Amino acid sequence: MLQVGPVNPDVQAALAGEFGALRLPDAPGEQEDFLALHAGNIRVAVCSGRFGVGTELMRRLPQLRAVVNFGVGYDTTDVAQARERGILVSNTPDVLTDCVADTALALYLDVLRRTSAADRYVRRGDWARTGNFPLAVRASGKRVGILGLGRIGGAIARRLEAFGCEIHYHNRRPADGVPYSYQASAEELAAAVDVLVVAAAGGPGSAGLVSARVLENLGPEGYLVNIARGSVVDEDALVPALAGGRLGGAGLDVFAHEPEVPAALLELDNVVLLPHLGSGTVETREDMARLTLENLRSFLHDGTLATPV
């Protein structure tokens, strides 16, 4: 068994104590020596959404049979190669849906009502020194587009319904049994709404889906919220759009090159920045750890996974 990258402390303790897992070294030179010694014996790899089993590492593990992933996202793992080789891959869906949706709602409210910016205004002493904080934008009753109406996207939409929002969405194909307006492309979705919430899965298929054209269609009075993956948004187009006033604001939990954040964003008061904490609650992380270990034990017991992707 191989641990790839850091994982949740509860999972880490079980890997070390219960399973005696090996840990892939961080340094490239040490990795090469490690793989030369152990690669042929690894049957199971355990990782997080941030540190998956990528193309080259998977190729180096000829006996790999399962990748057990802590997290709902698995775009850092080469799923296509896994399917070709019959390698099972699991993730931790459902248990983090509500907390990620809550984070999206927090970003939505924050960037429109400017609560973080107002907090900074008070802390700097500007309220006493210069007077009232500038007016924000109403959050209720907005036209909101959900890019990716899956489990998390649907949970976000239901929360926004309570704010009287008009919901539009785009998926690869229309979803059955939903009352929201379907838009045929990300560009058309952005043109139809005031706020675009990105909840699409990461990976090559969605890279740059929120393009310069999408941001242009949102326009200077539009807002972007991203709780999906940084790769889904063209960050090179997003930063100048925000800095140049061609986009009203953004609430971002994810970035293209985490943990690096574009320096220009740090200076903008119309941007809310979070350190990829969408599911970051005690309760959810406990549930994710439990499900990760359930998948691992299930595979070791009978070769199946509780939540395969």
> Which residues are marked as active site?
229, 258, 276
Sheet with 181-182, strands from edge to edge, namely: 181-182, 166-170, 143-147, 195-198, 223-226, 249-252, 271-273
Q: Please, which residues bridge with residue 67 across strands?
A: 45, 89
Q: What Cα–Cα distance (Å) separates residue 276 from each residue in 14, 152, 217, 306?
A: 25, 15, 26, 26
What is the C-alpha to C-alpha distance for residues 238 and 255, in angstroms, rounded to an integer?
A: 11
- Rg (C-alpha) for the chain, rounded Å, is 21
* CA–CA distance, 294 with 304 (Å, rounded to integer): 10
**CA nearest to 90, candidates 281, 278, 283, 294:** 294
